[in-house]
Structure 1
Amino acid sequence: MITPKELEKLYAQGQNISALLRKELNVDHNTPEIIEISYDMQTGSYTEAMKSEAMAKHKAEYSAEIANVILSLCDPKSILEAGVGEATTLSGVIKSLNKPIKSYGFDLSWSRVAYAKEWLLSQGVTNTTLCTGDLFNMPFIDNAIDIVYTSHSIEPNGGNEEAILKELYRVTNKYLILLEPGYELSNEEIRQRMDSHGYCKNLPTIAKSLGYDVIKHQLFSSSANPLNPTALTIISKQSNTELPDNVFACPKFKTPITQINNAFFSQEALVAYPIIGDIPCLRIENGIFASKFPETVKD
């Protein structure tokens, strides 16, 4: 088995970590572990890329267009980027919305969330709450956020589209906006490339099969890579549930959790989720079974 340190060296040499791990594990799809390792090793590359004038310009246009889509749908009180990465998109969306709003983001990788916190601060964005989490077990209660959106975060999870859509839809209060590979809107060459990378596909078809109201599916006006064109898919939910003050939930039971000192505690799971570097670690794997935590640890 290739060790993490060996993978780190291979990544520095330009090797495709996801492909290496798929071969090593003898699987034909990206597992959550593969995605976590490969993206964590990329940490820093996204904020570094923003030093390029061309990339910064593209990201500003991309984020502004996302904000325009959001405002064309409603006047949201809260937004969530699921799979926030280093927050280079979220920061631009918040700025472009140009209004007071509660904003949230989570990512599988702790390292990327740490870089996201630094990036947001460098951009003067201070009203965002970040945590670790995964798309299959999102650490938010039902109908918690007005607008939930993704930006190529479902992308590497080909084969798991239905499970992820169900979680995104569960947390959404008004609209779910997907900015993901436009597989159905691309030619055969591009589709073959997406298939080789294990990218997601058929999101609108799967959403409709789940009974969701897909109100738009088309190529997005802003896309960085012509070999990976971005499609815009909008799903309307309109639950109109009153938004909660505390949105975090136990990722396993989807019930509210309470912060006690340097952790969040789930009364149902009897699990403490630690806060490391001011980042709540809210993946199921992060939990520590600690039934007596509330009795022994005080605020």
Structure 2
Amino acid sequence: MSTTLSKLKSLYKRGENISAYLRAERNVPANTREIIEIAYDLQSGSYVEAMRDPKMSEHKNAYAKMIAERIRGLMTPRTVMEAGVGEATTFSSVLSAVAHGQSERPVGYGFDLSWSRIAVARQWLTEHGIKDARLCTGDLMQMPFAENSIDVVYTSHSIEPNGGREREILQQLHRVTKHYLVLLEPGYELAGDEAKARMESHGYCRDLPGHCESLGYKVLTHELFPLTANPLNPTALTIIEKRSPAHESHAEQEAYACPETGGRLISNGSVMFSPEGLLAYPIIEGIACLRKENAVMASQFEEQVLRRGAA
């Protein structure tokens, strides 16, 4: 790493755009996963702080409730995931609104590249009485969840900074989705020239419905979403329907899967272990770190830890 994280933190506090700074420093045209992680990790807490503004809070809650209305119009889900959950400021209201009036609250799942953002998200959910959420770190391009494991998966501007990697991300989201994939992402094709130029300068994603159709996915809706925080970054709503095998949803404990092998994970409270891959993923302060690069080879984990603990 050319610039230390401590220096980058100082630059961020001075108002520097960290993504742009790192793209220039590394002479790359688009955001890499490392650049995205660094930029968002340094921002941790800023979304929660922004919710202190009554206008922002009002907008965010209205936005989340409208997402929930679209989800409830599709089905009554048992499981809901926000992929790229950030600090859960949208997720908390979506979960509450989806659950409203239901006899059984849906289980919510969320993940993000950044451990710091997940830590902030967990605190935010706790403060807002959300007890039905499962959070972990994870990568949009190697999602740590089983195939067809979540009834409805949605995104809220999390594909946004990944211009050029749309197809890979969409394949992962579609794989994990059981019934519906709901995307709220920059509407490049529906935007004006000034907004398009801004999206291009930031390396934002483009043509999600076109990518979906080329992958053979069934696109039900692609339209501008009525609520957007920034007119120069208009949100488009894209809904994809998926016909999954007619078997029951995965049990809650089976939703997580090894991002390397796709196989099941066993938790002992401090580690999540993949028996198939012989890989151990750490759990830090109660947050499972389920990115591929977090894995530690542990061929003796069953013998030295699991069996010993069961004895």
Do these two structures clear the TM 0.5 threshold for a shared fold by scoring above it? yes
Residue 95 of structure 1: CA displacement? Answer: 1.1
Whether the 8 Å CA contact 1:261–1:297 is kept in 2: the answer is: no
After TM superposition, the score normalised by the length of structure 1 is 0.99
- The answer for the alignment partner of 2:6 in structure 1 is 5
Of 258-267 and 99-108, deviating more is 258-267
The residue correspondences of 1:171-210 to structure 2 (distance < 5 A) are 171-210=176-215
For 2:31 and 2:121, locate their aligned partners in 1 and report how far apart those are by CA, in whole Å: 24
For 1:252 and 1:201, locate their aligned partners in 2 and report how far apart those are by CA, in whole Å: 28
After TM superposition, the score normalised by the length of structure 2 is 0.95
Residue 268 of structure 1: CA displacement? Answer: 2.0
For 1:123 and 1:263, locate their aligned partners in 2 and report how far apart those are by CA, in whole Å: 28
1:156 aligns with 2:161: yes
Whether the 8 Å CA contact 1:11–1:41 is kept in 2: the answer is: yes
The residue correspondences of 1:23-172 to structure 2 (distance < 5 A) are 23-97=24-98, 98=100, 99=102, 100-172=105-177
- What is the aligned residue count? 299
Tell me which of 271, 274, 284 is aligned to 1:263. Answer: 271
- The answer for the alignment partner of 1:291 in structure 2 is 299
What letter corresponds to residue 200 of structure 1 in structure 2? C
Whether the 8 Å CA contact 1:176–1:234 is kept in 2: the answer is: yes
What letter corresponds to residue 232 of structure 1 in structure 2? L
For 1:241 and 1:183, locate their aligned partners in 2 and report how far apart those are by CA, in whole Å: 37
What letter corresponds to residue 37 of structure 2 in structure 1? E
Secondary structure of 1:115's aligned partner: helix
Secondary structure of 2:272's aligned partner: strand
What letter corresponds to residue 258 of structure 1 in structure 2? I
For 1:150 and 1:24, locate their aligned partners in 2 and report how far apart those are by CA, in whole Å: 29
For 1:71 and 1:173, locate their aligned partners in 2 and report how far apart those are by CA, in whole Å: 15
Whether the 8 Å CA contact 1:87–1:119 is kept in 2: the answer is: yes
Secondary structure of 1:55's aligned partner: helix
What letter corresponds to residue 126 of structure 1 in structure 2? K
Secondary structure of 1:296's aligned partner: helix
- The answer for the alignment partner of 2:249 in structure 1 is 243
Aligned Cα root-mean-square deviation (Å): 0.8
What letter corresponds to residue 297 of structure 1 in structure 2? V
Residue 244 of structure 1: CA displacement? Answer: 1.0
- What are the ranges of 5 or more consecutive residues in structure 2 without an aligned counterpart? none
For 1:47 and 1:261, locate their aligned partners in 2 and report how far apart those are by CA, in whole Å: 28
Residue 233 of structure 1: CA displacement? Answer: 0.1
Secondary structure of 1:297's aligned partner: helix
Alpha-carbon deviations, 1:81-115, whole Å to 9, x = none?
A: 00000000000001111131111000000000000
Secondary structure of 2:280's aligned partner: strand
For 2:158 and 2:286, locate their aligned partners in 1 and report how far apart those are by CA, in whole Å: 23
For 1:45 and 1:82, locate their aligned partners in 2 and report how far apart those are by CA, in whole Å: 19
For 1:254 and 1:59, locate their aligned partners in 2 and report how far apart those are by CA, in whole Å: 34
For 1:29 and 1:293, locate their aligned partners in 2 and report how far apart those are by CA, in whole Å: 39
What letter corresponds to residue 163 of structure 1 in structure 2? E
For 2:35 and 2:129, locate their aligned partners in 1 and report how far apart those are by CA, in whole Å: 33
1:222 aligns with 2:227: yes
- What are the ranges of 5 or more consecutive residues in structure 1 without an aligned counterpart? none
Secondary structure of 1:129's aligned partner: strand
Secondary structure of 1:167's aligned partner: helix
For 1:214 and 1:175, locate their aligned partners in 2 and report how far apart those are by CA, in whole Å: 10
Alpha-carbon deviations, 1:205-261, whole Å to 9, x = none?
A: 000000000000000011111110000000000314411112000001111111134
For 1:4 and 1:247, locate their aligned partners in 2 and report how far apart those are by CA, in whole Å: 34
Tell me which of 265, 269, 286 is aligned to 1:278. Answer: 286
Secondary structure of 1:28's aligned partner: coil
**Identity rate of aligned residues, in percent?**
54
Secondary structure of 1:23's aligned partner: helix
Residue 150 of structure 1: CA displacement? Answer: 0.2
Tell me which of 208, 231, 236 is aligned to 2:236. Answer: 231
Which segments of structure 1 move beyond 2 Å, counting only runs of 4 or more? Answer: none
